[in-house]
């Protein structure tokens, strides 16, 4: 009986230690919910679900790169490019400052496909540079970040793009269920999460991805085409960023070159909080969702508490550092 109790205590301590940052943030959320009016409200839930949905898409893209011991610092700028492209192609015909005055109104789905394809090609370029040219992911994606930002400035002239057609902005509308208005974005995020879960857990690509993250040399010896797998991972990530940019611009009612700035760092932090190891080979879709949700709840809680915006960034930075430190600690203990 004593041994059983001791085992329970050890398991409980291990769980609390491995998930300390999540537990602490949840305590903060509970405190804010009990002390601040309207935190636990339908309106605030919708606001959190909208921001979480878009950032979940970004985190899904980043997760594959982290699982294979890489990273992607170009995510935020690809989001910005995707949003700007969508906005320049989906402006109203009667808008006085239309980017392409002679361009007719295009189908929403066609513009979305174009954005996804272009952003996937940028991701593929990342994958090629990393897999074929053997440039470290940090440096390759940092360089791509600068290239995409500069190209976006040249394309848009650094001017905000507005005057969007209603069909485009309605993409981030709501399903009226009578008792509740269900955000379209939440539905999109759920569908993409299910598709990515299937890809990660039920396909050869997913198995290869985890194998590369666990031991790339062993995976290559066992017959995995590691270069091709990496290129697919980064291309898929680019497509996810393009979708996030498309939806974020619709939600914002416009776009500029700074759309999505810093999203890559928050996505990396959310993935790490959710159990995607920076040492590779580990990560679940459910954990990614939890990490994104916890990070968004942290930001919302700080806003409700009236914390100075500058100090909010400090708090978020501390969370990122602690999350990575705990992840490295878990890896060290396993060794």
Q: Which residues are within 8 A (CB) of 118 and not within 5 positions of it... i.e. 6 or more apart?
A: 81, 82, 85, 242
Residue with tokens 């919910």: 33
Residue 321 φ/ψ, nearest 5 degrees: -65, -45
Determine contact, residues 259/252, Cβ cutoff 8 Å.
yes
Query: In this predicted structure, what is the pLDDT of residue 36?
Result: 86
Query: In this predicted structure, what is the pLDDT of residue 42?
Result: 79
Query: In this predicted structure, what is the pLDDT of residue 58?
Result: 97
Query: What parts of the chain have a pLDDT lower than 50?
Result: none
DSSP per residue, 58-100: HHHHHHHHHHTT---TTHHHHHHHHHHHHHHHSB-TT-TT-SS
Determine contact, residues 255/160, Cβ cutoff 8 Å.
yes
Query: In this predicted structure, what is the pLDDT of residue 298?
Result: 87
- Report the C-alpha gap between 33 and 20 in whole angstroms: 20
Q: How far is CA 133 from CA 121, 137, 139, 189, 219, in A?
A: 17, 11, 12, 34, 19
Query: In this predicted structure, what is the pLDDT of residue 3?
Result: 63
Q: What is the pLDDT of residues 167-216, one digit of tens each?
A: 999 988 888 777 778 889 999 999 999 999 999 999 999 999 999 999 99
Q: What is the pLDDT of residues 126-152, one digit of tens each?
A: 999 999 999 999 999 999 999 999 999
Query: In this predicted structure, what is the pLDDT of residue 279?
Result: 81
Query: In this predicted structure, what is the pLDDT of residue 335?
Result: 53
DSSP per residue, 259-322: TTTTHHHHHHHHHHHTT--TTSS---HHHHHHHHHHHHHHHHHHHHTT--HHHHHHHHHHHHHH
Residue 334 CB coordination number (10 Å): 9
Query: In this predicted structure, what is the pLDDT of residue 164?
Result: 95
Query: In this predicted structure, what is the pLDDT of residue 2?
Result: 59
**Residue of 64, 62, 59 whose CA lies nearest to 205:** 64
């Amino acid at each position: 009986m004593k041994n059983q109790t001791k085992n329970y205590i050890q398991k409980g301590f291990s769980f609390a230690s491995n998930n300390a940052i999540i537990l602490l943030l949840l305590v903060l959320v509970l405190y804010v919910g009990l002390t601040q009016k309207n935190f636990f409200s339908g309106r605030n839930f919708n606001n959190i679900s909208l921001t979480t949905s878009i950032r979940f898409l970004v985190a899904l893209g980043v997760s594959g790169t982290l699982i294979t011991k890489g990273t992607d610092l170009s995510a935020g700028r690809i989001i910005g490019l995707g949003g700007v492209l969508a906005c320049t192609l989906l402006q109203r015909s009667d808008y006085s400052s239309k980017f392409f005055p002679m361009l007719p109104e295009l189908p929403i789905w066609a513009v979305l496909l174009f954005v996804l394809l272009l952003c996937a090609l940028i991701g593929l370029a990342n994958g090629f540079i990393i897999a074929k040219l053997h440039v470290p992911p940090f440096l390759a994606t940092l360089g791509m970040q600068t290239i995409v930002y500069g190209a976006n400035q040249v394309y848009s002239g650094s001017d905000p793009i507005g005057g969007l057609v209603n069909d485009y902005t309605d993409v981030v509308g709501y399903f009226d269920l009578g008792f509740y208005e269900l955000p379209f974005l939440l539905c999109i995020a759920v569908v993409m999460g299910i598709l990515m879960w299937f890809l990660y857990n039920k396909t050869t690509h997913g198995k290869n991805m985890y194998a590369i993250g666990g031991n790339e040399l062993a995976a290559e010896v066992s017959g995995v085409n590691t270069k091709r797998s990496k290129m697919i991972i980064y291309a898929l990530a680019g497509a996810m960023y393009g979708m996030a940019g498309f939806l974020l611009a619709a939600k914002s009612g416009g776009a500029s070159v700074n759309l999505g700035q810093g999203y890559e760092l928050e996505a990396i932090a959310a993935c790490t909080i959710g159990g995607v190891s920076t040492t590779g080979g580990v990560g679940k879709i459910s954990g990614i969702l939890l990490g994104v949700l916890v990070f968004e709840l942290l930001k919302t809680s700080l806003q409700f508490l009236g914390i100075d915006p500058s100090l909010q960034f400090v708090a978020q930075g501390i969370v990122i550092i602690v999350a990575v430190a705990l992840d490295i600690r878990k890896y060290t203990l396993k060794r």
